[in-house]
Amino acid sequence: METVFLSAVVTILLIRFFLHLANYPQIGGSGLHIAHMLWGGLLMLVAIILLLAFLGQFTMRMASVVGGIGFGTFIDELGKFITHDNNYFFEPTIALIYIIFVLLFLFLRFLERRRVLSEQEYLENALELIKGVILDSREIDQKRQAQNLLEKCDQADPVTASLQHLLQSISVSAPFDENIFAQVKQRVRRWYQKFFHNPWFSWGIVVFFIGLSFVGLYRSSDVLSLFFRLDEFTLSYPELGQFASSIASALVVFVGILRLKKHRISGLRFLKDSVLLSIFLTQFFDFYNHQFDALFMLIFNLLVLGVLEYMLSVEQLLPYSKKEYTKV
């Protein structure tokens, strides 16, 4: 679901940037205009077909990207359908789009954190992961996740025992010395486990995110300068939005840093939420205020988010990561 939102946000920003450069061209000639909302609907249809016609985690990832691009392309033209004159440039449109994104994201977080899963739900989730391992026995991480979930199920349940036996019977399809991608993945994981627990590495993360927060605040420095000239204190909503969201992101970073020392996974999740907040809100207002410059910050934030996703995936599997891959 996060991939859907991220793909949608990036799509909206890129569409608006491209239309700005191309001086808002009309596709279809005289009398016709093929709105990009239609392409968004087509992409969402493709995502639905992928989910219904194919199995596996790779298909789900692909569908989330395609569906997110489709949703972003679709909802970008919201202004045309809430104004009587089909005004694409209706100024509150972007604010409404981002409110929709934020509400959907908060709803997702509510679903994730509303309660602890039951043993039956752990069993069902493990079964879904095992399906992916059967389709591709190189999915070592899925195998570990399934094993982790099965350990939380009722060990006296014959279904749990059967699934554990099935999971153990799935062997790695290719030795790691014959699979260069698996070798790289294994080495990166070992490097991470070796250095993350060193104090200097943890301090490096702290310094990096403090610096990232200052960069966000610096990019809204035009807003900060107005505090010293109260007689000229007039802000547009994009300037105020960028400043407020930068402050919010910095506060989440502060909480994440405090949590990082006591509970690594919780701290990383807060840092990840700060980056998501930056992408969902700060990035848009930054794009509105600085245009092309903001694309570089967007790419950088996406790279940071990818690294945090990897760190979280390793930390969540840490009890199993000390085992040899061939013994899983």
Q: Which two tokens stand for residue 300?
A: 């950088």
Q: Counting Cβ atoms within 10 Å, is residue 40 exposed (0-12), middle (13-18) or buried (19+)?
A: buried
- 324 confidence band (pLDDT: 50, 70, 90): very low
Confidence of residue 234 (pLDDT cuts 50, 70, 90): low
Which of 35-44, 265-274, 314-323 is predicted least confidently? 314-323
More confident residue, 80 or 314: 80
Predicted confidence (pLDDT) at residue 23 exceeds the cutoff of 60: yes
Q: Is the residue at 322 inside a domain?
A: no
Instruction: Say yes or no to pLDDT of 41 above 90.
Output: yes
Task: Identify the residue with better confidence: 291 or 25.
Answer: 25
How confident is residue 224, by pLDDT bands cut at 50, 70 and 90?
Answer: low
Stretch 180-207: mean pLDDT, rounded? 72
pLDDT surpasses 90 at 70 = yes
Identify the residue with better confidence: 213 or 293.
Answer: 213
pLDDT at residue 71, rounded to an integer: 94
pLDDT given for residue 181 in this prediction: 58
Residue 71 lies in a domain: yes
Reduced to 3 states, what is the DSSP secondary structure of residue 24?
coil
Q: Other CB atoms closer than 10 Å to residue 222's CB: what's the count?
A: 13
Question: Based on the domain organization, do 284 and 299 belong to the same domain?
Answer: yes
The answer to the question of residue 182 being in a domain is no
- Does residue 327 register a pLDDT over 50? no
Contact 73, 15 (CB under 8 A): yes
- Quick one: tokens of 139? 């999915």
CA dihedral sign of residues 309, 315, 319, 324: positive
Same domain, 252 and 164: no
Co-location of 146 and 211 in the same domain: no
Domain count across the chain:
3
- Residue 328: inside a domain, yes or no? no
Q: How confident is the model at residue 202 (pLDDT cuts 50, 70, 90)?
A: confident
Residue 34 belongs to what domain range? 2-113
Let me know whether 199 and 287 are in one domain.
Answer: yes
**Residue 102 shares a structural domain with residue 136:** no
One domain, residues 201 and 288? yes
Task: Render pLDDT for 173-182 as a digit per residue (tens, 0 to 9).
Answer: 554 444 565 5
- Whether 323 maps to a domain, the answer reads no
Q: What is the pTM of this model?
A: 0.63
Instruction: Say whether pLDDT at 222 is over 70.
Output: no
pLDDT attached to residue 328:
34
Angle, helix 93-113 to helix 2-21, in steps of 10 degrees? 170
68 confidence band (pLDDT: 50, 70, 90): very high
3-state secondary structure of 159: helix
Query: What is the arithmetic mean of pLDDT over 297-301?
Result: 79
DSSP 81: G
**Residue range 278-307: average pLDDT?**
75
From 113, 132, 148, the end of a domain falls on 113
Q: Are residues 109 and 131 in the same domain?
A: no
| Domain co-membership, 13 together with 77 | yes
The answer on pLDDT for 65 being more than 90 is yes
Sign of CA dihedral 258, 259, 261, 267: negative
Residues 246 and 274 in one domain: yes
Domain co-membership, 78 together with 135? no
- In 127-270, the DSSP E strands lie at none
Domain shared by 89 and 17, yes or no: yes
- What integer pLDDT is reported at residue 300 of this predicted model? 84
Span of 120-124, 294-298, 322-326 with lowest mean pLDDT:
322-326
The average pLDDT across 14-25 equals 80
Please give the pLDDT value at position 175.
44
288 domain-assigned? yes
- State the pLDDT confidence band at 108, using cuts at 50, 70 and 90: confident
Structural domain includes residue 33: yes
- Is 186 among the domain residues? no
Q: What is the mean pLDDT of residues 225-244?
A: 61
- 203 with 306, same domain: the answer is yes
Q: What is the mean pLDDT of the chain?
A: 77
Residue 267 scores a pLDDT above 60: yes
Examine the pLDDT at 271 and tell me if it is beyond 50. Answer: yes
Q: Whole-angstrom Cα distance, residue 227 to residue 319?
A: 50
Cα torsion angle, 189, 194, 197, 203, sign: negative
